[in-house]
Amino acid sequence: MAAVNREAAPASQEAGRDVGSDGPGWRYAPAPEARDIVSIEPEYGLFVSGAFRPAADGRTFATINPATEEPLAKVAEAGPADVDAAVAAARSAHEEVWGPMRGSERAKYLYRIARQLQERAREFAVLESLDNGKPIKESRDVDIPLAAAHFFYYAGWADKLEYAGFGPDPRPLGVAGQVIPWNFPLLMAAWKLAPALAAGNTCVLKPAETTPLTALLLAEVCQQAGLPPGVVNVITGAGGTGAALVSHPGVNKVAFTGSTEVGKEIARAVAGTDKKLTLELGGKAANIVFDDAPIEQAVEGIVNGIFFNQGHVCCAGSRLLVQESVADAVVERLQRRLATLRLGDPLDKNTDIGAINSAQQLVKISELAQSGEAEGARRWSPPCQLPDRGYWFPPTVFTGVSQSHRIAREEIFGPVLSVLTFRTPDEAVAKANNTPYGLSAGIWTDKGSRILWLAQRLRAGVVWANTYNRFDPASPFGGYQESGYGREGGRHGLAAYLDV
């Protein structure tokens, strides 16, 4: 994006479209993605045994567009009888069809799903942005292509499991109960379903209450791909539905992505059973910038690290650790860059920052940001006009943050960056590791030897060097400590779904 002269720029002109402004001669005309590619039904059922049907007790809940608060659809709320039915459907599909099927046949279905995701990519992207509030350029360029890539990647493993390093004839576990969050709704569904199906398991998936629509469209794609009934079941609902699923005695494997708090509850619910469990939980990653780093590049990495997807990212680089000698220069350039980000309509192709996913999440972010001020850190946001309706939070940077501040310790899960400084590499390692989490970290330096030295000392599942938030289906992802256990992605991701 072209640099603009912030000083000369007037305050934001078009309500809700610009964080700072676009400066003289650099205004962005609206560029909305057409919404009519998506037809949203007034009401959606549960996807059980290959067909959509209402909940047994007829209960529904509404899902809304968080950018406008407009209700999008009513969705069935699965109760215990529905969870029973979905698990039973998955069980018989596993025993009669999917378990005995040759891997090369299973692969064909996964390839078909992957291709359908590509063919219907624009529809999925628009629906994801409507239901979640994320900018269309992210759903279009990241979420949907990566979801398709996961199906392609695991389709390739389905007939090669004996070469995956888990013995000559690795067996599936049976029925997988999978509970996912709202930050990457379709992508998390793909992370869960693709390896499970490739390994020969059948699935019952519970999407988040605020973002059920793309999982239901994926269910339609499963129908379109001719997937045998019961192999994938999607049961919508709130936390209670998730709790009923993970504690159901017919489930052999539980996979969860979400908060550490709920992850602990699930670990307790599963303890003492023979269910296999993987947990992908929260994070408070350090993004570490050394004085020899290319600063402009590092600033882009910092922005991508914490403002991508409104900071609703478990591996977000939410703690910037910057070497003291360059701290002022880095923060100044970061602020200049943030003033050029555009916040507003998620369907606008120029939007950088979309809506916060829910009123509840906005309250949580606001409360933590207030604690930062109360504890003495300095709060900064670019000049910013927020839309009147919907849930919005401006990009925010805290400087003068100390390690004991709540904003340095707790996961905010919003567009809020805490800046800390360090003098030596040892101090950087000590501060980076001073967290109960351990999901990810970033390093910015010109020295390869320093990258390797740090990567060995950082207690984080993923360490990015001179880049951030890069994902690939072939590379494993997962955490240490309170960030959870188990790996998703790559060959390692298969282990969670095989009896090894």
- Selected binder of ligand NAP within 246, 353, 356, 432 (CB under 6 A): 246
Q: Output 47 or 290, the one with its CB closest to ligand NAP.
A: 47
- Using the rule CB under 5 A, is 361 a contact of Mg ion? no
To which residue do tokens 């059980």 refer? 48
- Selected binder of ligand NAP within 63, 116, 129, 183 (CB under 6 A): 183
- Selected binder of ligand NAP within 179, 235, 322, 498 (CB under 6 A): 179
CB of 211 to Mg ion, least distance (A): 5
Contact assessment for residue 273 and residue 252, using Cβ atoms and an 8 Å cutoff: no
CB of 82 to Mg ion, least distance (A): 21
CB of 259 to ligand NAP, least distance (A): 3
- Using the rule CB under 6 A, is 205 a contact of ligand NAP? no
Contacts of 48 (CB under 8 A, 6+ apart): 82, 85, 86, 89, 230, 233, 235
265 binds, among ligand NAP, Mg ion, none (CB under 5 to 8 A by kind): ligand NAP
131 binds, among ligand NAP, Mg ion, none (CB under 5 to 8 A by kind): Mg ion
Token pair in block for residue 191: 């992370």
What DSSP element (H or E) covers 51?
Answer: strand 51-53
- Selected binder of ligand NAP within 82, 348, 411, 482 (CB under 6 A): 411
- Using the rule CB under 6 A, is 281 a contact of ligand NAP? yes
Told to judge if 300 belongs to the known catalytic residues of this protein, a careful annotator would answer no
To which residue do tokens 């509850």 refer? 265
CB of 439 to ligand NAP, least distance (A): 8
411 binds, among ligand NAP, Mg ion, none (CB under 5 to 8 A by kind): ligand NAP
- Selected binder of ligand NAP within 109, 307, 413, 444 (CB under 6 A): 413
CA gap 432, 426 in Å, rounded: 10
Least Cα distance to 117 among 50, 189, 63, 177 occurs for 189
- Using the rule CB under 6 A, is 364 a contact of ligand NAP? yes
Q: Output 182 or 497, the one with its CB closest to ligand NAP.
A: 182
Q: In the range 142-171, which residues lie near ligand NAP by CB under 6 A? A: none
To which residue do tokens 């009123």 refer? 359
Q: Output 63 or 385, the one with its CB closest to Mg ion.
A: 63
Q: Output 69 or 472, the one with its CB closest to Mg ion.
A: 69
What SS3 state is found at 39? coil
Q: Which stretch binds ligand NAP (CB under 6 A): 8-16, 93-101, 241-249, 321-329?
A: 241-249
63 binds, among ligand NAP, Mg ion, none (CB under 5 to 8 A by kind): Mg ion
Site string for Mg ion, 62-91 (x = CB under 5 A): -x----------------------------
Amino acid at 206: K
Least Cα distance to 339 among 82, 46, 12 occurs for 12
- Selected binder of ligand NAP within 195, 258, 344, 493 (CB under 6 A): 258
Q: Is 6 exposed, middle or buried (0-12, 13-18, 19+ CB in 10 A)?
A: middle
Question: What b-and-e string marks burial along 379-398, b requiring 16 or more CB atoms within 10 Å of the CB?
Answer: ebbbebbbbeebbbbbbbbb
What SS3 state is found at 154? helix
Told to judge if 314 belongs to the known catalytic residues of this protein, a careful annotator would answer yes
Backbone torsion region of residue 101, taken as left when φ is above 0, otherwise alpha when ψ lies between -120 and 50, otherwise beta: beta
Catalytic residue among 314, 384, 482, 488: 314
Distance of CA 103 to the CA centre of its chain: 29
- Helix, strand, coil percentages (3-state) for the chain, rounded to 5, are 40, 15, 45
Alpha carbon of 274 to those of 266, 267, 437: distances in Å?
Answer: 14, 12, 26
- Where do contacts with ligand NAP occur on this chain (CB under 6 A)? 179-183, 206, 208-209, 238-239, 242-243, 246, 257-259, 262, 265-266, 280-282, 314, 361, 364, 411, 413
Residues annotated as catalytic (active site), given as ranges: 280, 314
